[in-house]
Structure 1
């Protein structure tokens, strides 16, 4: 599926001119006069990026950016605005914007920014799909295996897990073997990596030291 450059700008003549430039350069484009209109037509899984004005009627560019962190986190944002300042650009970039350009930006600069944003989208999509696949693997564990897995990746010993769950160490070892097979891993480090990437373990947390 070809990516789409979504242009959100309340200046109709500018919006149309940029749309024509991008279309002539081979991009698919979609035009919106406000952030509210864009949200109402938000693409579900379509690849692309967002070319966004900072000052808009209704939702501002930054407010729309905050909404998209939840609704469309894969979609990179390139700001193109005549209302830019250092504080606004720093805020937008800290919140995850890909670029912040001031009007009028040259065609080459704009096209390069869009290309970078589309590359970023693809990287985000690949990582998102990888994380989703890991989450599916973890979801395939039985409730008891999930309990054991949560304790394993936090560095607990088999005997500690057995005591915590009121079962035998032998049973814990059997669960551990089944978990490693289902997740397709051979080491604790790989299991911990899956737990971190699937959102089950804080990556800054440190497993307990084994004694």
Structure 2
């Protein structure tokens, strides 16, 4: 055994089918299961998994809130989403929060296994159609930013602080804060870090590998 994969899913039949199928395709991994976010957090501490395969709809997760909770509790853990919901906003949001993969529940097991193996190898994986939709959604939101806000976002991506951005653009720090608030609202994220990760992920979309 080379590691543990924790599968978080509250539908027993689907959960068993996924574990049975992946066990045969990824025989060097042991599979653990969780049916709620609380159980996920507990089993992360117990088993130190190599990967969490997370359904956004398990009890307590509150969709992307579950990803945020897991990332806060275990920032180094690789997280991939397995969900029936594949809207661009969810995919982009999950990536912005640090998920390394996003897989629809209808994906064939062999493709799911290939995607998981890639995530375990440090890659980011989402299916091509969903990847393109997520990137399209980002660029539609990005198009609502003013030229000045686009420059601010570029500087956020480069890691500059508000004070540094203000100096570079010759504007007040308060004005930068206003721009940052507008950027977060228009991109649909709650922190500047999420905005930076979302932008970086979309702008480097060509580097993402599809399943």
Deviation at 1:109, TM superposition (A): 1.5
Counterparts of 1:78 and 1:95, CA distance in 2: 11
* Alpha-carbon displacement from aligned partner over 1:39-82 (angstroms, at most 9, x marks no partner): 12223683510111111222234222111222211111111111
Equivalenced residues, count: 126
Residue of structure 1 in register with 2:50 after alignment: 48
Shift of 1:116: 1.6
Equivalent-residue separation in structure 2 for 1:110 and 1:50 (angstroms) = 14
C-alpha displacement of 1:15 = 0.6
Q: Distance in 2 between matches of 1:7 and 1:204?
A: 37
Q: Equivalent of 2:113, from 87, 111, 114? A: 111
Trace 1:26-175 onto structure 2 (pairs within 5 A).
26=27, 27-43=29-45, 46-120=48-122
Contact 2:5 2:31 in 1 (8 A): yes
> Where in structure 2 are there 5+ consecutive unaligned residues?
124-157, 165-211
Give secondary structure in 1 for the equivalent of 2:122. helix
Confirm or deny: 8 A CA contact 1:51 1:78 kept in the other structure: yes
Give per-residue Cα distances to partners, 1:83-108, cap 9 Å, x unaligned. Answer: 22111111101111111111111112
Query: Conserved in 2, the CA contact under 8 Å of 1:2 and 1:47?
Result: no
| Inter-partner Cα distance in structure 2 for 1:45 and 1:28 | 10
Mean CA deviation greater in 59-68 or 98-107: 59-68
The answer on whether the counterparts of 1:55 and 1:83 sit within 8 Å (CA) in structure 2 is no
Max radius of gyration: which structure? 1
Question: Is the contact between residue 37 and residue 61 of structure 2 (CA under 8 Å) also seen in structure 1?
Answer: yes
Q: TM-score, normalised by structure 1?
A: 0.53
Residue 153 of structure 1 aligns with which residue?
none
Tell me how far 1:35 sits from its aligned partner: 1.3
Q: Which runs of no fewer than 5 residues in structure 1 stay unpaired? A: 122-201, 207-211
RMSD: 2.5
- CA apart distance, 1:115: 0.9
Aligned to 2:12: 12
- Confirm or deny: 8 A CA contact 1:9 1:33 kept in the other structure: yes
